[in-house]
Amino acid sequence: MARASRARRAGVRRSDAPGICAAAQAVALYIQGRFAEALPLLDRIRPIAESTEDLVLRAQFPRVYGQLQALRGDYASAVPALLEAIERLHDQPGIELTVATEMLGATYAYMGDFSRALELVFGAHRRSEGVQDQAALAAGEGFLCAVYHMQGEWSLAREHGALAVSTARAAGSVIHEYVGLVYLGLPEARLGDLEGGASSLRRAISIAQAAGTWVLLGRAHGWLAEIELLRGEAHAARELAEAGLALSTKYGYLYDAALCERSLGHALHAIGDAAAAREHLDRAVEGFASISAAPEVQRTQAMIASV
């Protein structure tokens, strides 16, 4: 009886129980990166999350939903959800608010709004520095790396990516080390360290496979394919791009699928199959355009023009 009374005071109703259970399942799928399976669950519990008196569930639903959509590349769905989550988490300062804010910043970067992206990420990162939360600091460095990565500011991307990895390792945070490595590899390669870049991405893929997560794994394959092309290994690049595309399609990643289409098209062109290359490059443009990833649309169109 006392437990029921406490639940009522917290705003939890018996009718919320199925939603809370489904939310826990969705979060587990989200952590594993199984977004194609998590989305139907989240859609099913949305009415409960939006009507409940449970303030925790009301805040956590848009946070998980927004971050999932940001990571998979549905930016039009991610932005309003993350804005709502930030508003609801405003009175609950901590790493969840920090990550939601920085994820929103990264989302704007992928849509091409770099000034807004840096304003959000730097603001949240400064707050983390103020409380010296090492996991939050590692996350912030990773998000800064992601923004500069999208801009093609390779020196800054490498700097913040390396800081993300070292800070995460010091904090014992494997997930933030993984994210840092995913974003660090291509900047290292673009700045001339092809072996170092490939090694960072192979290490990231190994961590993801050991942890049983598919978050960012498609783009890790796509970017490693780009490095293999820089090394003159077109057939290895093709295999990586095909594997990344299969993973991205299976688990519901829109950005990663378009990236791997582009890497596959680039690899096929290097091999000498011009017709198939153009087909995949066109698919990449369509994929990036469908999610409003303007910088990637421009990069892919430039690649088509060059080949």
Express each pLDDT in 217-230 by its tens digit.
Answer: 999 999 999 999 99
pLDDT tens string 110-142: 999 999 999 999 999 888 776 678 888 999 999
More confident residue, 272 or 58: 272
Q: What is the pLDDT of residue 11?
A: 47
Residues in the chain, overall count:
307
Give the torsion through C-alpha atoms of 138, 140, 145, 147, to 10 deg: 160
Three-class SS state of 213: coil
pLDDT at 2 over 50: no
- 3-class state of residue 238 by DSSP: helix
Q: What contacts 191, CB < 8 A, 6 or more positions away?
A: 154, 155, 158
Q: Which CATH class is domain 220-291?
A: mainly alpha
Q: How far apart are CA 147 and CA 180, in angstroms?
A: 12
φ, ψ of residue 74 in degrees (nearest 5): -90, 80
Q: Backbone phi, then psi, for 79, in 5-degree steps?
A: -60, -55
Instruction: Give the containing element (helix H, strand E) for 13.
Output: none
**Position 20 pLDDT exceeds 90:** no
- Number of CB atoms found within 10 A of residue 255's CB: 24
Cα–Cα dist 307/305, whole Å:
6
Cα–Cα distance, 65 to 107 (Å, whole number)? 14
pLDDT for 47-90, tens place per residue?
Answer: 988 887 877 778 889 999 999 999 999 999 999 999 999 999 98
Backbone angles phi, psi at 149, to 5 degrees: -55, -50
Chain mean pLDDT for the chain: 91
